[in-house]
Amino acid sequence: MNPPTGVKIVTIGGGSSYTPEFVEGLIKRYDELPVRELWLVDIEEGREKLEIVGKLAQRMVKRAGIPMKVCLTLNRKEALVGADFVTTQIRVGLLDARIKDERIPLKHGIIGQETNGAGGLFKGLRTIPVLLEIAEEMQELCPDAWLINFTNPAGMVTEALLRYSSHKKIVGVCNLPVHMKISIAKLLGVQLEELQIDFAGLNHLVHGLNVYVDGKNVTHHVIDLLSRPENQVTMRNIAPVPWQPDFLKALGILLCPYHRYYFKTKEILEEELEAFKKGTTRAEVVKRLEADLFELYKNPELDIKPPQLEKRGGAYYSDAACNLISSIYNDKQDIQTLNVQNQGAITGIPDESAVEVNCIVTKDGPKPIPVGELPVEVNGLVQQIKSFERIASEAAVTGSYEKALLAMTINPLVPSDEIAKKVLDEMLEAHKEYLPQFFPKKV
């Protein structure tokens, strides 16, 4: 019997409110990326959301008139058999856990965010063991498939998967570089295809080292534009506090919106503390937004992605994901910014560690384009965050309290060893249910 034609994609965390965006991306690209089956997988707690999102996905595909089958299941192993691509977009502990990641650090006067600092550490501790389990299942059930992870903290998760999983076809994806490119193209009034940015760094700590329009270096002009308060590039989930213009000009490198946590710690913390008091931390806002989105998704008349989804920070994630899948499938050899194994691309970061860099995407996966040394002005912070990610990954895999305490204390957003220990202990207790590696069941 001939093998089936077309692609089989499995999306784990398929009940996510972001799924309609992914489905829209697949529909748009159907001619170049003929998806035979899209399997949306979730867990028991996500059953209702999976049903709602799954039915919307089926209506979207019907409207598009393409022969893409959308299957819904709670049986992950059944779905993984024969997959070509597996995308992961899970949230262990759901949004209530994110609320704790944000509110507990703020209660102690430090930044609470789902990918940085104490919150990022705990999201990683909950998520990494689950992603490793998925990767091991893939090794058994679909060893040739690519694992494409969007789950945050994407940098730390990719680091852990690359180091500790026996499945090696792993790529981390984030919408941030795509988002920055779109914003800068708009600012310059040029087409996206004319713009090239040399991205390098880590996830949520990526830099634009050079910007070109049609091959001409326009970095200084872009920095000039970005240093004006009216031209701030940020995401829905990060307050647009404007950059100090002289600092940006002296640096001469494009920063990403998440750099604000490190270079504008005080201002961002003030914003977050305000939100903490009002009950409007990002997680709380997103929880309300999600409830509204699911109400919309339930409407049997709805058969497109509703524009309200663009209020989420992850807008354009589907472009990043679908472009990657299509380029591997079609051996496009185009350039995309991805989280991959460094393999010498950035000097001074271990070869086996994850970095976010421009890659050439081939049928054998993304190949990082050599960067060399990062500029001295940004290298220090990158090294510190890489150390944090490595120690945090080790803590997630081993369940070592000492490693978790070290990760927390060396994080630049945690200002003292005393606070680190207090926050760590409180968060371990609060997330106990989702941290079996730290609380093994007594027999």
Among the listed residues 27, 40, 72, 174, the single contact to ligand G6P using CB under 6 A: 174
Q: How far apart are CA 269 and CA 5, in angstroms?
A: 52
Alpha helical stretches, state H, 298-364: 317-330
3-state SS, residue 411: coil
Q: Which stretch in 58-66, 123-131, 310-318, 346-354 sits in contact with ligand G6P by CB under 6 A?
A: 310-318
Instruction: Choose the catalytic residue: 258, 261, 316, 329.
Output: 258
**Amino acid identity, position 205:** L
Compare residues 91 and 167 and give the one whose CB is closer to ligand G6P. 91
Lay out the site mask for ligand G6P across 15-54 (x = CB under 6 A, - = otherwise). Answer: ----------------------------------------
Q: How far apart are CA 159 and CA 164, in angstroms?
A: 9
User: What is the length of the chain?
Assistant: 443
Q: How far apart are CA 303 and CA 316, in angstroms?
A: 19
Q: How many residues bind ligand G6P (CB under 6 A)?
A: 12
Residue 71 labelled as part of a binding site? no
178 contacts ligand G6P (rule: CB under 6 A):
no
Among the listed residues 175, 318, 342, 358, the single contact to ligand G6P using CB under 6 A: 175
Residue 203 labelled as part of a binding site? no
Compare residues 76 and 312 and give the one whose CB is closer to ligand G6P. 312
| Cα–Cα distances in angstroms (integers) from residue 424 to residues 129, 333, 406, in the given order | 19, 44, 10
Residue 207 labelled as part of a binding site? no
Compare residues 138 and 238 and give the one whose CB is closer to ligand G6P. 238
Interactions with ligand G6P, residue window 311-340 (CB under 6 A):
312-314
Q: How many CB atoms lie within 10 A of CB 67?
A: 10
Residue 63 labelled as part of a binding site? no
H or E, element range at 283: helix 282-297
Compare residues 237 and 411 and give the one whose CB is closer to ligand G6P. 237
Backbone angles phi, psi at 2, to 5 degrees: -70, 145
Q: Which stretch in 48-56, 78-86, 169-177, 351-359 sits in contact with ligand G6P by CB under 6 A?
A: 169-177
Interactions with ligand G6P, residue window 209-238 (CB under 6 A):
235-237
Q: ω before 153 within 30° of 0 (cis)?
A: yes
Contact 61, 304 (CB under 8 A): no
Strand-pair partners of 365: 362
Residue 14 neighbours by CB under 8 Å, 6+ apart: 39, 40, 41, 42, 50, 53, 54, 72, 89
Least distance (Å) from ligand G6P to the CB of residue 320? 9
In terms of Cα–Cα distance, which of 257, 249, 85, 238 is closest to 180? 257
Q: Which stretch in 9-17, 74-82, 173-181, 216-224 sits in contact with ligand G6P by CB under 6 A?
A: 173-181
Interactions with ligand G6P, residue window 129-168 (CB under 6 A):
152
Least distance (Å) from ligand G6P to the CB of residue 271? 14
Least distance (Å) from ligand G6P to the CB of residue 359? 18
Q: Which stretch in 208-216, 266-274, 309-317, 398-406 sits in contact with ligand G6P by CB under 6 A?
A: 309-317
Compare residues 188 and 285 and give the one whose CB is closer to ligand G6P. 285
201 contacts ligand G6P (rule: CB under 6 A):
no
Q: How far apart are CA 188 and CA 178, in angstroms?
A: 15
Q: Which stretch in 158-166, 170-178, 407-415, 420-428 sits in contact with ligand G6P by CB under 6 A?
A: 170-178
Among the listed residues 282, 305, 403, 431, the single contact to ligand G6P using CB under 6 A: 282
For this structure, is 258 an active site residue? yes
In terms of Cα–Cα distance, which of 86, 6, 17 is closest to 57? 17
| DSSP for 202-230, written as a single string | ETTEEEEEEEEETTEE-HHHHHHHHTSGG
- Which residues are known binding-site members for Mn(2+)? 174, 204
Binding interface with ligand G6P (CB under 6 A): 152, 174-176, 235-237, 282, 286, 312-314
- Which residues are known binding-site members for substrate? 98, 152
Just list the catalytic residues: 258
